[in-house]
Amino acid sequence: MVKKLFSTLIILALMIASFGGVTFAKGKPLTEKQVNQIKANFGKAGIDQETQLKLIEKIENGEILDANNPKMKDKGKIKEKKFIDKNGIPGYEKKIIYPDGSVDITSVSGGTSRTGSGYVNYIGRKVSRLSGGIYASFLADYTNVQYGYDSLDRVYEWYISGVSDISNITLTVAQSKETSSSDAYGYLRFTGSAGGYYTSTFYLKLFVGNDTDWDSGNW
C-alpha cells in the first residue's frame, strides 16, 4: 500500500511537470459566453448571487480567486461526503469553501453498475471538478475486482466550461490495469484562458485501485 501510494504521488508529480501547473499569466478579458458559463458553474456550487458578482468582478480586475490561489491552499473549510444515489450507486464529493466565497469541488458519481462473482463493473461514472469559475468533467467505465487488480476500461464524453480559447484537448486511459505498485488512471487535459488573470494547461485525472476511485486536478 505504501509502495503504491508513493508510486501514485510520483505519477502526480510527473503529470504536473509534464502538463504544467496553472501559470498565473495575464489572460484575456472575459467574454459574455464565459461570464454566463462561470455564473452557471457558481450556481452548481451553491454560491449565492451576491457572492457570484463579487467573484466575477474579482476575476475581471485580474485578481486570483482564493480557490485558485496557492497562497490560500490551506485556508479553506473542507466538507467531504460519501453517499448512495437513488439507483444504489456509491459516490463521493469533496468540497472546499474559501474565504472569498469561491469553492473547489471534486467528485465521482452516477452511472450504472453490474455485479458478478467478486467484481463490480461501473458504466458511465461522472468524474468532475469545479474550482474557481472553471468546470470540467468526463465519463468513465471501470471494474473493481475483489482480491484482484482493478481496471479502467474507457474514458469519454468530456465537457469543459468557464474557459475560453480551449485547445489541445486530450482524453485518454494512461494505465488501464492496476498493479501491485500503481493504480489504473486516465485523464482529461486541455489548455485555455481562464480570463482576467491566467492562462495555462489544465488536467482532471481519475485513479482506480484498491476497489475504490478518486480524482484530482491542477486548478
Mean pLDDT of 41-45: 92
At 22-36, the pLDDT tens digits run 444 444 577 788 889
- Structural domain containing residue 177: 2-217
Question: Nearest to residue 93, comparing CAs of 78, 75, 113, 77?
Answer: 78
Q: Is 21's pLDDT higher than 50?
A: no
Question: Nearest to residue 89, comparing CAs of 71, 72, 70, 108?
Answer: 108
pLDDT band at 179 (very low <50, low <70, confident <90, very high): very high
Does residue 186 contact residue 152 with C-beta atoms inside 8 Å? Answer: yes
Q: In terms of pLDDT, which residue wins out, 162 or 2? A: 162
Mean pLDDT of 170-198: 88
At 86-143, the pLDDT tens digits run 888 999 999 999 999 999 999 999 999 999 899 999 999 999 999 988 999 999 999 9
Q: What is the CA radius of gyration of the chain?
A: 18
Please report the pLDDT score of residue 17 as a whole number: 40
Q: Which residues pair with 79 in a beta bridge?
A: 95
Mean pLDDT of 160-181: 92
Total of domains in the chain: 1
Q: Which residues pair with 114 in a beta bridge?
A: 121
At 62-86, the pLDDT tens digits run 888 999 888 998 999 999 999 999 8
